[in-house]
Amino acid sequence: MIDLQASGQGLDGYALLAVQLESLLADERDFVANSAQFSAFLFHELGDLNWAGLYLNKMGELVLGPFQGRVACVRIPFGRGVCGAAAQSRETQRVEDVHAFPGHIACDSASNSELVVPLVKEGELIGVLDLDSPSVGRFSVEDQAGVERLAEIFLRLTDCR
Ligand code: SME
């Protein structure tokens, strides 16, 4: 990874992560390679996460994709849990306390808050990006905007079909 702190650009937070992600994905468009890199990047750079990865839209059902963290549930129907709600509504789900979310699917008992961003490219739902944290209220409005921006970069730099 290039050292942007040392490059004098003076970026921080999500602006820095956006530039780093652009650099990380610049030379490759393969979906599995880029989504694996994206998951690892988020897991290690955001902090206070116990799971980061993708669920992919396969014939109207979410199927586990590349991720970092403990083993997880493999298939999630649209409309079920936080991921299913994001897939069905195509709206980001920012959940302060997953135990208060109706139908939440507890893949990892360590998870207490969750951010799920739908991945839509050219009108097609590719899947969802799922981030889990052991801390209640881990994800702020700023985190949501920042992660949505990172997801846009990932989609732009990746061949999805
Ligand atoms: N908790 C999610 C399921 C996926 S795991 O967190 C990896 C949900 O309710 O959709």
- The CATH number covering residue 129 comes to 3.30.450.40
**pTM score above 0.85:** yes
In this structure, the residues whose C-beta lies within 6 A of any atom of ligand 1 are: 51, 72-73, 76, 81-84, 104-105, 107, 111, 114, 130, 132
- From atom 6 of ligand 1, which residue's Cα is the shortest distance away? 107
- Give the model's pLDDT for residue 10: 67
- From atom 3 of ligand 1, which residue's Cα is the shortest distance away? 105
Identify which of 130, 131, 133 to mutate to test ligand 1's pocket (most ligand atoms within 8 A of the CB): 130
Does any domain span residue 64? yes
Kindly give the distance from the C-alpha atom of residue 149 to the centroid of ligand 1, in angstroms, as a whole number. Answer: 21
Expressed as residue numbers, the domain containing 46 is: 13-156
The pLDDT tens digits along the chain (161 residues) read 444 454 445 678 999 999 999 999 999 999 999 999 999 999 999 999 999 999 999 998 999 999 999 999 999 999 999 999 999 999 999 999 999 999 899 988 899 999 999 999 999 999 999 999 999 999 999 999 999 999 999 999 999 97
Kindly give the distance from the C-alpha atom of residue 27 to the centroid of ligand 1, in angstroms, as a whole number. Answer: 31
Collect contacts of 55-58 with beta carbons under 8 A, ≥24 apart.
55/83, 55/87, 55/127, 55/128, 55/130, 56/126, 56/127, 57/87, 57/125, 57/126, 57/127
Does any domain span residue 2? no
Does any domain span residue 6? no
Kindly give the distance from the C-alpha atom of residue 107 to the centroid of ligand 1, in angstroms, as a whole number. Answer: 6
* Total count of domains within the chain: 1
Kindly give the distance from the C-alpha atom of residue 43 to the centroid of ligand 1, in angstroms, as a whole number. Answer: 15
Q: Could you identify the atom of ligand 1 that is nearest to the CA of residue 103?
A: 9
Does any domain span residue 5? no
- Give the model's pLDDT for residue 11: 76
